A and B are shown apart, each in its own frame.
Chain A
Amino acid sequence: MPVFDLSQTPLRELNSALHNLGASSNDTLFEVVNPRGHHAVAVGIDGPVTVEVKGSVGYYCAGMNDGGTVTVDGSAGPGVAENMMSGTVVIEGDASQYAGATGRGGLLVIRGNAASRCGISMKGIDIVVHGSIGHMSAFMGQSGHLIVCGDAGEALGDSIYEAKLFVRGSVKSLGADCIEKEMRPEHLEKLAELLGKAGVTQAKPEEFKRYGSARKLYNFNIDNADAY
């Protein structure tokens, strides 16, 4: 198993090694030690590798991940798993701003809390936060699921399109065009599936409320000008 010590080895060597794996490579498990808040750790993975990061990372960890499994045994700075295409990213600690932003697929699990703008402009990613999330989360969320076992901050789902939001705790306020919606059997089923995948054992799907778009802002309507 390749081990990269970022206190000794330049980050570029880690990311190059991850990018240059051939189809026949047997190196599928990487360990990264001493990340010490480094930026752009394990960015641009495009194969089924597993990367275990032992410590906290800075900006944009696991960005653009396509098929990899990245676990951060610590906290993550802004933009973790930004624009993820597929695969899984797990943050054992907390995540900073805009976790999972613009993600197109895959699963992001945050075992601690996430800060503001979690899932901003999400486009198909599934995000499960064991704790709470900050303000303006899922702003302009287009598709995918954001599941929050704790509370949500202000302006949840502002200007949301078709992303589906599930919050177990309180929501400080809903953003423009975001409303509470009926929880139907298919939603409970999806919730159960994602909670299971994310290792959430304490929360039951029935305890969540669903939020989504009222679809009033899809097209510009002068009567809605105040809501923009």
Chain B
Amino acid sequence: MCGIVGLFLKDKSLEPRLGELLSDMLITMTDRGPDSAGIAIYGSVDGKTAKITIQSATPEGDFAGLVDDLAQAGIDAEVCLKSTHAVIAIDMGQLAAIRPVLAEIRPNVRIMGSGESVEIFKEVGLPKDVVQRFGVRAMGGTHGIGHTRMATESAVTTLGAHPFSTGADQCLVHNGSLSNHNNLRRELIREGMRFETQNDSEVAAAYLTAQMAKGKDLGQALTGALDDLDGFFTFVVGTKTGFGVVRDPIACKPAVMAETDQYVAFGSEYRALVNLPGIETARVWEPEPATVYFWDHDKAA
């Protein structure tokens, strides 16, 4: 089944509560998928700092002395430890340089996501445990997405958890299963994309990244997905300033959206939305099949 949630805030006064609201939404969706859970939070941007979220199966060893080892490699970094994850803050100009350095000095860490604003936390286990171990409730931000997984297409591992991030500040959560992901993966590899898992959803994320790298905006990339991806899907995606939703033409995976002056919210079920402020008077609707919905802070401003 899988459960998806997403929250895109329009009202700045709600931003300090993003983590709390999104955590409650995700925990409500626990019984749609108990295998793993993950959440992506888009925080504030200062135009100078980039963030990279890493994960390790042995955080005691991998995260010890990380700041010093990065400094030796010429990268000034601040590291914030959160359980099995660490968020490394660096100068934006060093975002490209840090990946090969990390692969060299910490070969066992995995990169969950990177960019100016996104932080991604995901692990095997229930949403309530995942949000607790990473302190998600206390996090503020402008928008975020979350996922609780019932594994169907690939293994139950941390890397197989959603959200999948294949480009800077981009991430995707998926409910469904794709039928042409192997072929598409081969084509994307030819175009230069790299994959870390055998998961079908990672292919969807990489597809969107590749499309946006060609100059499409999120809405155009999602429109292309309707032609190029085969199978069942409800996708909720985030970019630095944007939030998008699309369902396949059959649209049998559930989806409910709500919009008020304060936010746009997505849930696999209405239950996920019932604690949001003003939900009683929100416009609540079911997204149409094969129809792209997206919102962008930059475009709204």
A→B interface (CB under 8 Å): 36-38, 56, 58-59, 75, 77-78, 94, 96-97, 115-116, 134-135
Contacts and interface: CB of A to CB of B under 8 A. Distances in A.
B254 A78 contact: yes
A78 B286 CA distance: 11
6 contacts: A37-B269, A37-B274, A58-B269, A58-B271, A96-B256, A116-B289
Given A78-B254, A96-B254, A97-B252, A37 B286 contact: no
A73 to B, nearest CB: 12
Given A36-B274, A94-B284, A94-B286, 10 more contacts: A36-B271, A37-B270, A38-B271, A56-B284, A59-B269, A75-B270, A96-B254, A96-B256, A97-B252, A97-B286
Nearest to A115: B286
B195 interface: no
A94 B285 contact: yes
A78 B253 CA distance: 10
A96 B286 contact: yes
Contacts of B273: 37
B67 interface: no
Contacts of B251: 97, 116, 134-135
Interface string B272-301: 111000000000111011000000000000
A96 B288 CA distance: 11
Contacts of A56: 270, 274, 284
Interface residues of B, number: 15
A65 B22 CA distance: 35
B298 to A, nearest CB: 32
Contacts of B272: 37
A159 B271 CA distance: 34
A59 B3 CA distance: 14
Contacts of A134: 251, 286, 288-289
Contacts of A116: 251-252, 289
Contacts of A94: 284-286
A203 to B, nearest CB: 23
Contacts of A37: 269-274
A134 B254 CA distance: 14
Contact of A77 (B252, B270, B285, B288): B270
For the complex of A and B, the 6 pairs showing the least CB-CB separation, nearest first, are A37-B271, A37-B270, A36-B274, A115-B286, A37-B274, A56-B270
Nearest to B272: A37
Interface in B218-254: 251-252, 254
B254 to A, nearest CB: 6
Contacts of B286: 94, 96-97, 115, 134
B154 to A, nearest CB: 26
Given A97-B252, A116-B251, A77 B269 contact: yes
Nearest to B253: A97
Contacts of B271: 36-38, 58
A135 B251 CA distance: 9
**B251, B270, B285: which has the most chain A beta carbons within 10 Å?**
B270
B291 to A, nearest CB: 11
B254 A75 contact: no
B248 to A, nearest CB: 12
A36 B271 CA distance: 6
B198 to A, nearest CB: 30
A191 B59 CA distance: 69
B270 A58 contact: yes
Contacts of B289: 116, 134-135
Contacts of A38: 271
A57 to B, nearest CB: 8
B70 to A, nearest CB: 46
A59 to B, nearest CB: 8
Contacts of B285: 94
A56 B286 CA distance: 14
A135 B254 CA distance: 14
A75 B284 contact: yes
A217 B199 CA distance: 39
B254 A97 contact: yes
Contacts of B269: 37, 58-59, 77
A77 B270 CA distance: 7
A186 B273 CA distance: 45
A116 B44 CA distance: 39
A140 B222 CA distance: 32
A115 B285 CA distance: 10
Interface string B249-272: 001101010000000000001111
Contacts of A59: 269
